[in-house]
Structure 1
């Protein structure tokens, strides 16, 4: 919007300033997957809260796969290693499967369903997204502190890594 003022408040150091995907372990996706991944990363970087207890940020994050676990390789903005946390994806299997099904229903409903039906499906989709975000926060507890919105955005990226076109 022309003339809109940007916030001049300094950003918290407890944030991510870069998110990358380890292509060696995750691999490249098809164009739709790459687009979804890029949007998810953009949304994370736009606004996030990412704190490592006892460490000063800002941080960079590289996501990869190590022995079927999601690897959070965290560094300082200058590139110094902070930690790598391996996160089992097993607890996410059900919610990822359910989320994938409800997203498919949502995109199909947009084509033919009434606004009331679309809204009902979307409420279910948002509820599952919140459930997955809470699970992510829980699984990272003690290692990384996230606010709700950052957890939602990170789950979107985790889902985009599994999304099948």
Structure 2
């Protein structure tokens, strides 16, 4: 198995004990975020043997917990990240998404495009912040950080 094949996630589970169930629309968004993440990712926990890996995401005491298991399900490592540094960018992302979806109904194409560029910029900012917070714990590429940020937003969305 090549390093590319082993440095990836093959499963992502959301801990239902710590993450509230959402409306059917919210659950759909979460499922799409997980699907997109699994389709293509680079995920390499530092100091842990070769993968592929299984990830369990949970929230405990205002912390996002990445519990990483082997392909066979054996516990390898858990990393906790404070949610506080991500809160502002997640809030900004929700606000700009709200503006975007509102604009789609009535705004001119140029206006929609401008809002969408802003939305992508905030999404990139969140992705960079998440990658920085994971530094020294889990190596991810930019696309994986984007997909993880999308999933974290989906976890926060109440519907």
Report TM bin, short chain: over 0.9
CA deviation after TM superposition for structure 1 residue 80, in Å: 1.0
Cα distance in structure 2, aligned partners of 1:151 and 1:71: 15
2:11 counterpart (9, 18, 27): 18
Residue 50 (structure 2) aligns with: 56
Alignment of 1:1-165 (within 5 A): 12-54=5-47, 55-165=49-159
CA-to-partner distance for each residue in 1:14-67, whole Å, 9 max, x for gaps? Answer: 000000100001121111110000000000000000001232110000000111
Question: 1:91 and 1:139 mapped to 2: Cα distance?
Answer: 9
Structure 1's consecutive aligned runs of 4 or more residues displaced over 3 angstroms after TM superposition are none
Which sections of structure 1, spanning at least 5 residues, go unmatched?
1-8
Q: CA RMSD in A?
A: 1.3
Query: How many angstroms apart in 1 are the aligned matches of 2:35 and 2:3?
Result: 19
Residues of 2 paired with 1:106 and 1:82: CA distance? 40
Matched residue count: 157
Structure 2 unpaired stretches of 5+: none
Deviation digits for residues 66-113 of structure 1, max 9, x if unmatched? Answer: 111111010011111111111100001110111000000000000001
Q: Helix, strand or coil for the counterpart of 1:87?
A: strand
Q: Secondary structure of 1:23's match?
A: coil
